Amino acid sequence: DAKTTQPNSMESNEEEPVHLPCNHSTISGTDYIHWYRQLPSQGPEYVIHGLTSNVNNRMASLAIAEDRKSSTLILHRATLRDAAVYYCILKYGGSQGNLIFGKGTKLSVKP
Amino acid sequence: KAGVTQTPRYLIKTRGQQVTLSCSPISGHRSVSWYQQTPGQGLQFLFEYFSETQRNKGNFPGRFSGRQFSNSRSEMNVSTLELGDSALYLCASSLGPDSYGYTFGSGTRLTVV
């Protein structure tokens, strides 16, 4: 399975944008890039996913490098509720559907 | 709509016992996956079920098993419990195995003493 590399932790100030990086240099053409986050004492929560083009939804934006070897999750205005562990996951676009979680990035948001 | 429901929320068992955990997926979701989360190993995939068939299995011993019923509800069973089985067990559901969004439950916290 292709692997992802994320910083262990990041800090942000409330109401400022946050850019969470992810490297996936061994990504294959059929791998989708998924982001999940896990708030304290909860199960992971789907954030966003993409294949080649940048994606936006109500929670975040996903910027994918042209060579697809890296991506960045963008939270436009961090709130205290965004403090969580963020996981960048490559998911094979075929029938093998399980998610392979890495260590993720623990995001702290300061008021 | 109701989310993914896992029961019980907390469980304490003794070494050597067996345990059954339950997961009710979101209505209309037919795929259910199970994950184990521990501080040391993080989130690890256990198995995935779709239409009552196991489609995928992670690298866990045979003591870990599961099944899915015709209404898509799923159970996982761990036999001969070991101290190392203490973990948060999470269930996730999706429309199907090729779906792009998984919805997780809040998990069952299992403590083995």
Average pLDDT over residues B25-45: 94
Measured from the Cβ of residue B15, the count of other Cβ atoms closer than 10 Å reads: 11
Asked if the C-beta of A103 comes within 8 angstroms of chain B's C-beta atoms, the answer is: yes
Q: What are the residues whose beta carbons fall under 8 Å from the beta carbon of B10, sequence distance 6 or more?
A: B108, B109, B111
List the end-to-end C-alpha distance of chain B, in Å, as a whole number.
Answer: 37
Pair type for strands B74-78 and B87-94: unpaired
The 10s digit of each residue's pLDDT in B67-100 is 999 999 999 999 999 999 999 999 999 988 777 7
Return the percentage of chain A with pLDDT > 90, whole number: 77
Confidence of residue A8 (pLDDT cuts 50, 70, 90): very high
Query: Least CA distance to A50: which residue of chain B?
Result: B100
Interface with A, mutate which of B100, B106, B108, B109 (most A CBs under 10 A): B100
Contacts of B97 in chain A (CB under 8 A): 95, 97
Long-range contact list for B10-13, CB < 8 A, 24+ apart?
B10/B108, B10/B109, B10/B111, B11/B108, B11/B109, B11/B110, B11/B111, B12/B110, B12/B111, B12/B112, B12/B113, B13/B81, B13/B110, B13/B111, B13/B112, B13/B113
Confidence of residue B101 (pLDDT cuts 50, 70, 90): confident
Q: Tell me which range, A82-86, B27-31, B45-49, B56-60, is most confidently predicted by mean pLDDT.
A: A82-86
Contacts of B31 in chain A (CB under 8 A): 97
Q: What are the residues whose beta carbons fall under 8 Å from the beta carbon of A58, sequence distance 6 or more?
A: none
Cross-chain residue pair A43–B97, CB shorter than 8 Å = no
The 10s digit of each residue's pLDDT in A56-100 is 999 999 999 999 999 999 999 999 999 999 999 988 765 556 788
Residue B75: what pLDDT?
98
Average pLDDT, chain A: 91
Nearest to A75, CA basis, from A48, A50, A97: A48
Average pLDDT over residues A44-59: 93
Average pLDDT over residues A24-36: 90
Residue A18: what pLDDT?
97
Nearest chain B CA: its distance from A41 CA (Å): 8
* Strand residues in chain A grouped as ranges (E): 9-13, 18-23, 31-38, 45-50, 55-56, 61-64, 70-75, 84-92, 105-110
Interface size between A and B, measured as CB pairs under 8 A: 60
Give strand pairing partners of B83. none
Return the percentage of chain B with pLDDT > 70, whole number: 99
Residue B20: what pLDDT?
98
pLDDT over 60 (residue A1): no
Residue A97: what pLDDT?
61
Residue B39: what pLDDT?
92
Residue A92: what pLDDT?
72
Cross-chain residue pair B43–A103, CB shorter than 8 Å = no
Confidence of residue B4 (pLDDT cuts 50, 70, 90): very high
Pair type for strands B42-50 and B31-38: antiparallel
Query: Least CA distance to A41: which residue of chain B?
Result: B106
Residue B56: what pLDDT?
85
Confidence of residue B1 (pLDDT cuts 50, 70, 90): low
Asked if the C-beta of A40 comes within 8 angstroms of chain B's C-beta atoms, the answer is: no
Contacts of B90 in chain A (CB under 8 A): 43-44
